[in-house]
Structure 1
Amino acid sequence: MINNTEFAKRLQKVIDYYGESGSSFAEKIGVQRSSISHILSGRNKPSLEFVLKVLSSYPEVELYWLLNGKGNFPAEKNSTEIKSEIPTRPESQNLFSEVEEKTQETNSTSISRIEQNSKKEIDRIVIFYKDGSFQNFENS
C-alpha cells in the first residue's frame, strides 16, 4: 500500500527537480491544479491514471521509486542511452526489414495453404498493429 505522505514527498521532489510549479506540473501531465494540491497535502491518494501520466510525461521517474521510494530518481540511464551503447553491426541494419519481408512471404504462403487444404471459408481477418490501430478484412 502506498504511504501518502511519502508519495507526496517524492512527487514534490520530482516537481522541484524539474523546476516546475504545481500549476505548470499539473498542466504538463494533464490534470487539474487541485489534483496536485490535494495529493501534496495528503488529502487525496494518487490514482493509477495520475501515476501513469507522471511516468509518461517524465520518463526519468521510475515507477517503483515513485510508489515505494526504492530505486533511483532520476533514473540512472534511460533506454535511449542504453541503446546507444550497444554496438551495431553493418549486416544487422536491415535485419528488421528482412524479417518483415520473410514474415509476409510466409504468411501469404500459409494463407494459400489454408485455403487449398480446408473446405472452410475465411469470414474475416483482423490485423492488430503495435500503435493500437487495426485493419479489418471481411470476406464479401
Structure 2
Amino acid sequence: MINTGDFSKRLQKVIDYYDETASSFAEKIGVQRSSISHILSGRNKPSLDFVMKVLHAYPRVELYWLLNGKGQFPDSNAISDFPSSNEESDNSNPKTVEKKPNKSIEKIVIFYKDGTFKSYKP
C-alpha cells in the first residue's frame, strides 16, 4: 500500500526538480490543479491514471521510486526527458549519444484480435 505522505514528498521532489509550479505540472500531465493540491496535501491518494500520466510526461521518474521510494530519482537509465514548457533547447551544448551495437531482427509476430497470429522471419 502506498504511504500517501511519502508519495506526496516524492511528487513534490519531482515538481521541484523540474522547476515547475503545481499549476504548470498539472497542465503538463493533463490533470486539474486541484488534483495536485489534494495529493500534495495528503487529502487524496493518487490514482493509477495519475501515476501513469506523471511517468509519461517525465521519463526520468521511476515507477517504484515514485510509489514506494525504492530506486532512484532521477532515473539515470532513462533515455531523455521531454523538455518542459519553460525550457528552451540549447544547441550550443549538444548531448553525447552512446552508440548501441547493431541489432538484427530475428522474428516479427503480429497478433490479431481473434487470437490468431502470423510470424515472419526476415
- The question of a shared fold, defined as TM-score above 0.5 by the shorter chain, is answered with yes
Q: Does 1:86 align with 2:100?
A: yes
- Hey, what does 1:10 align to over in structure 2? 10
Task: Write the distance in 1 (CA, Å) between the matches of 2:40 and 2:112.
Answer: 44
- Hey, what does 1:127 align to over in structure 2? 112
Q: CA deviation at 1:63?
A: 0.4
Q: CA deviation at 1:87?
A: 2.0
Task: Write the distance in 1 (CA, Å) between the matches of 2:64 and 2:72.
Answer: 9
Task: Write the distance in 1 (CA, Å) between the matches of 2:4 and 2:78.
Answer: 27
Determine which structure has the larger helix proportion and give its number.
1
Task: Write the distance in 2 (CA, Å) between the matches of 1:43 and 1:63.
Answer: 21
Q: Which one scores higher on RCO, CA 8 angstroms, separation ≥ 6?
A: 2
- Letter of the 2:112 counterpart: I
Q: CA deviation at 1:86?
A: 3.1
Unaligned runs of 5+ in 1: 105-125, 129-140
Task: Write the distance in 1 (CA, Å) between the matches of 2:78 and 2:58.
Answer: 11
* RMSD of aligned residue pairs (Cα, Å): 2.5
Q: CA deviation at 1:6?
A: 0.4
Counting only pairs closer than 5 Å after superposition, residues 14-29 of structure 1 correspond to structure 2 as: 14-29=14-29
- Hey, what does 2:69 align to over in structure 1? 69
- Hey, what does 1:138 align to over in structure 2? none
How high is the TM-score relative to the length of structure 1?
0.61
Q: CA deviation at 1:84?
A: 4.0
TM-aligned CA distance change 1:86 to 1:13, over 3 Å = same
- Letter of the 1:73 counterpart: F
**Alignment deviations for residues 21-61 of structure 1 (CA, whole Å, 9 cap, x no partner):** 00000000000000000000000000010000000111100
Task: Write the distance in 2 (CA, Å) between the matches of 1:21 and 1:11.
Answer: 12
Aligned residues: 97
Identity of aligned pairs, percent? 65
